[in-house]
Chain A
Amino acid sequence: MATYDFLFDKLGLRGWCGEEQGGGLSSMADLMGQAGGESDTSLWELPFPSLDALNDACSSVPQSRDLTRGLERGFLDIKDSLKVVVDPLTQPLSWALENALWIMQSVPWWIMIPLLMLITWGVGRSGKLVALVAACFGFLAFIDFYDHTMQTLAIIFVCAFICVLFGVPIGIAMSRNDRVQKALIPVLDMLQTLPPFVYLIPLIFLFSVTEPKLYGIAIILYAIVPVVRLTDLGIRLVDKDVIEAADAFGMTRRQKLFGVQIPLALPNIMAGVNQTIMMSLAMVVIASLVSAPGLGVLVLRGIRSLELGVGLLSGLGIVLLAIILDRVTKAALARINAEQKS
């Protein structure tokens, strides 16, 4: 009695559908319809010929929940073989994260904070910036968030480093070959627009929640996009005249890449690194859902047990961290710009 009965009758597919009246599981809407008696479906209420609507008319057509279930089953089927490949490949990530977390937490604060200030000075050469870093870490330590902050920072350092390690070469490959660029842009678009939570779902199936690489991979996938994109863009934007001069004086491709293209693309690449760091900070908070340690855990505690104060303070901590990371990378960027433009 379903709307699309006629379709299968006309096409002569009734036999393929099996029994005359579709038995089996009936949806809630079916039951409601039967309860309300025979209804004349007017054109206004014509349902879209979706899987469920077609299933009503012919039980051989799968329902939409079969589709999602099939997807799940498919993933579970390849999971084990996938794990054999992916597990050893990503094991170094776990080690790196574990060691970074251990180092950042075991170095005493009176070494760590001055060290971070020293790095800031090395990168930015600005006294103000160093003071800002000292004040922020001082404040976070003062309210007993020191350990959590260091955990977050350790994760970001490792993940951002790996993003640059892979992202810059991928960006270079994209800039040198239009076909690679065309193939990778949809992938990058997808990585960038896929809601961050969605990354976590298949990863949870693949890895145990106790393994740091679970959140490491999620962060890297999410944060690698800007550095790839901006490396590609930066190299493509290098002045054509300068490239031509490099060619005219007989530079090899390698000399051109390392002597001209990368140095001139550096401002853009650094802008990408800045974005990558900011995005890994955003993701590290979400990744606390899958056992990533750090300030995100406190945010999560604030939500779970409605501890308003903890949630707000840890949120503030993340903001401070974001400001520091942003300012420091931007200071580095400004110095590169100044060197080239002056």
Chain B
Amino acid sequence: MSDESKISVCNLYKIFGENPQGALEKVRAGMGKAELQSETGHVLGLNNINVDMPTGKTTVIMGLSGSGKSTLIRHLNRLIEPTAGEVYVNGENILDYNEHRLRRLRQAEMSMVFQKFALLPHRTVLENAGMSWAIEGKNRKQYAEEATRWLNRVGLEGQGGQYPAQLSGGMQQRVGIARALTSNSDIMLMDEAFSALDPLIRTDMQDLLIELQDELSKTVVFITHDLDEALKLADHLVILKDGFVVQQGEPQDILLNPNDPYIEAFVSDINRARVLRVRSVMKTTSDTPQEIAGEVDANDTLESVIATSRGDTTKNYRVMRNGRQVGVLHMRDLVRALVPRVASDASGEWMLEK
């Protein structure tokens, strides 16, 4: 796993307070967040985090507010210094970097998208998009082409001369994404990037991000408090609670096998048919079975497949991605996946018998 991971976080601790090292001893000895706060007045931000973020994939870090997710993402480019632990990017421990090398990392290897957009209000949209180039000392002429290309790609044709305040929230965040893309860095950190947007615009932006990911395959680290969003975007899902990792893995897998009451509570409210996707229920194969009722896309939700099949559980579908077959979906597997684990404990035997 760690060979193909772009970013690895190892044994990371972050404690806020007067004497973090002293508090660290207590945390390592097993003291919890609430206890530490009441006894020493220190806030436990992150508690022994170990996460590998795969190259070219989207890693979503999910948790409620106060779970430490924003603190964690800021460790990846050292906007926050850890109390203990290591952060490896491309195999190098960035905590060993000096100021100059760290700046290079932030300029060339990582880019970041913020919840509140954080655009420069006194610069035009084009200048904002070309910010990383400007930081490296390039002038407007040199970055105009590249910045315009990405502005066009995120759907902001002809807006380059505007100022950020003249745009709506969704458009401002498109500028934020264009700014991150223009830097041509492999890693994109997104801190609750869509949380401040209206639901409809948020869905648009999620779709945009998925499209861009299909095209570019960047290593995206995405922070969110919204499980639906997490499940929609994630290749690798990390769930944080009170500063530690409760569960991490393939999102659909977490949904199907939650290992903690906290996650079960999260998952139970989810409309599984709408969230689970064909790709996580299908059998991966390029063979074409005999009876094919039709074709579905790998990213279709189960809900839409049920609608297509009109509830017939005997059908099989060919699963397509970008016009090529990637697998086969049996409707029986689909129905099985719709039952939450708590319920399936009782009925699982019967299901298997069938």
Between-chain CB contacts (< 8 Å), 16 pairs: A239-B118, A241-B116, A241-B118, A242-B118, A242-B120, A244-B114, A245-B118, A247-B106, A248-B77, A249-B107, A249-B111, A249-B132, A250-B135, A252-B103, A263-B122, A340-B122
Q: What interface size band does chain A fall in?
A: 20 to 34
The residue from A244, A245, A250, A259 contacting B103, defined by CB atoms under 8 A apart:
A250
The residue from B105, B115, B189 contacting A250, defined by CB atoms under 8 A apart:
B105
Chain B minimum-CB-distance residue to A256:
B135
A339 is an interface residue with CB less than 8 A from chain B: yes
B contact residues around A247 at 8 Å (CB): 79, 106
B274 is an interface residue with CB less than 8 A from chain A: no
Shortest distance between the CB of A294 and any CB in chain B (Å): 38
**Chain A residues within 8 Å of B, Cβ to Cβ:** 239, 241-242, 244-245, 247-252, 255, 259-260, 263-264, 339-342
**Chain B residues within 8 Å of A, Cβ to Cβ:** 77, 79, 102-108, 110-112, 114-122, 131-132, 134-135, 163, 165-166, 179, 183, 189
Shortest distance between the CB of B66 and any CB in chain A (Å): 19
B contact residues around A248 at 8 Å (CB): 77, 79, 106, 110-112, 114, 189
Shortest distance between the CB of A114 and any CB in chain B (Å): 33
Given A249-B106, A249-B111, answer yes or no on A260-B79 (Cβ-Cβ < 8 Å). Answer: no
B contact residues around A249 at 8 Å (CB): 106-107, 111-112, 131-132, 135, 179, 183
Is A244 touching B118 in the complex (CB atoms < 8 A)? yes
Docked CA distance A252–B103 (Å): 8
Docked CA distance A80–B120 (Å): 53
Is B135 touching A251 in the complex (CB atoms < 8 A)? yes
Docked CA distance A319–B117 (Å): 46
A contact residues around B107 at 8 Å (CB): 249-250
Q: A245-B114, A249-B112, A255-B135 are in contact. List 8 more A-B contacts (CB 8 A).
A: A241-B114, A241-B118, A245-B119, A248-B79, A248-B106, A248-B110, A249-B179, A341-B121
- What are the 5 tightest A-B residue pairs by CB atom distance, in nearest-first order? A250-B106, A250-B107, A245-B118, A248-B112, A241-B118
Is A245 touching B112 in the complex (CB atoms < 8 A)? yes
Chain B minimum-CB-distance residue to A336:
B122
Docked CA distance A263–B79 (Å): 23
Docked CA distance A247–B104 (Å): 11
Docked CA distance A340–B131 (Å): 17
Shortest distance between the CB of A176 and any CB in chain B (Å): 16
Is B166 touching A342 in the complex (CB atoms < 8 A)? yes
B contact residues around A260 at 8 Å (CB): 120
A contact residues around B77 at 8 Å (CB): 248
B contact residues around A242 at 8 Å (CB): 118-121
A contact residues around B112 at 8 Å (CB): 245, 248-249
Chain B minimum-CB-distance residue to A266:
B122
Docked CA distance A152–B166 (Å): 43
A contact residues around B131 at 8 Å (CB): 249
Is A340 touching B104 in the complex (CB atoms < 8 A)? no
Docked CA distance A259–B123 (Å): 10
A contact residues around B110 at 8 Å (CB): 248
B contact residues around A259 at 8 Å (CB): 120, 134
Is A264 touching B121 in the complex (CB atoms < 8 A)? yes
Chain B minimum-CB-distance residue to A255:
B135
The residue from B79, B105, B116, B165 contacting A342, defined by CB atoms under 8 A apart:
B165
Docked CA distance A342–B121 (Å): 9
Shortest distance between the CB of B89 and any CB in chain A (Å): 14
Chain B minimum-CB-distance residue to A339:
B122
Shortest distance between the CB of A238 and any CB in chain B (Å): 10
A contact residues around B122 at 8 Å (CB): 263-264, 339-340
A contact residues around B116 at 8 Å (CB): 241
The residue from A251, A255, A263, A342 contacting B163, defined by CB atoms under 8 A apart:
A342
A contact residues around B189 at 8 Å (CB): 248
Shortest distance between the CB of A231 and any CB in chain B (Å): 17
B contact residues around A239 at 8 Å (CB): 118
Interface centre among A247, A252, A339, A340 (most CB of B within 10 A): A247
Docked CA distance A171–B40 (Å): 37
Shortest distance between the CB of B110 and any CB in chain A (Å): 8
A contact residues around B111 at 8 Å (CB): 248-249
The residue from B108, B117, B118, B121 contacting A340, defined by CB atoms under 8 A apart:
B121
Shortest distance between the CB of A180 and any CB in chain B (Å): 22
Docked CA distance A305–B214 (Å): 88
Docked CA distance A241–B105 (Å): 20
Docked CA distance A165–B226 (Å): 51
Interface centre among A248, A255, A260, A341 (most CB of B within 10 A): A248
Chain A minimum-CB-distance residue to B111:
A249
Shortest distance between the CB of B162 and any CB in chain A (Å): 10
A contact residues around B183 at 8 Å (CB): 249
B contact residues around A264 at 8 Å (CB): 121-122
Docked CA distance A342–B114 (Å): 22
Given A249-B131, A250-B105, A251-B135, answer yes or no on A341-B165 (Cβ-Cβ < 8 Å). Answer: yes
Shortest distance between the CB of B267 and any CB in chain A (Å): 32
A contact residues around B135 at 8 Å (CB): 249-251, 255
B contact residues around A341 at 8 Å (CB): 121, 165
Interface centre among B102, B107, B117, B122 (most CB of A within 10 A): B122
Shortest distance between the CB of A342 and any CB in chain B (Å): 6
Docked CA distance A96–B104 (Å): 46
B contact residues around A252 at 8 Å (CB): 103
Docked CA distance A339–B179 (Å): 22
Shortest distance between the CB of A333 and any CB in chain B (Å): 15
Docked CA distance A22–B322 (Å): 109
Shortest distance between the CB of B203 and any CB in chain A (Å): 24
Shortest distance between the CB of B181 and any CB in chain A (Å): 13
Shortest distance between the CB of B72 and any CB in chain A (Å): 15
Docked CA distance A263–B107 (Å): 22
B contact residues around A250 at 8 Å (CB): 102-108, 132, 135
Docked CA distance A263–B115 (Å): 23
Shortest distance between the CB of A278 and any CB in chain B (Å): 26
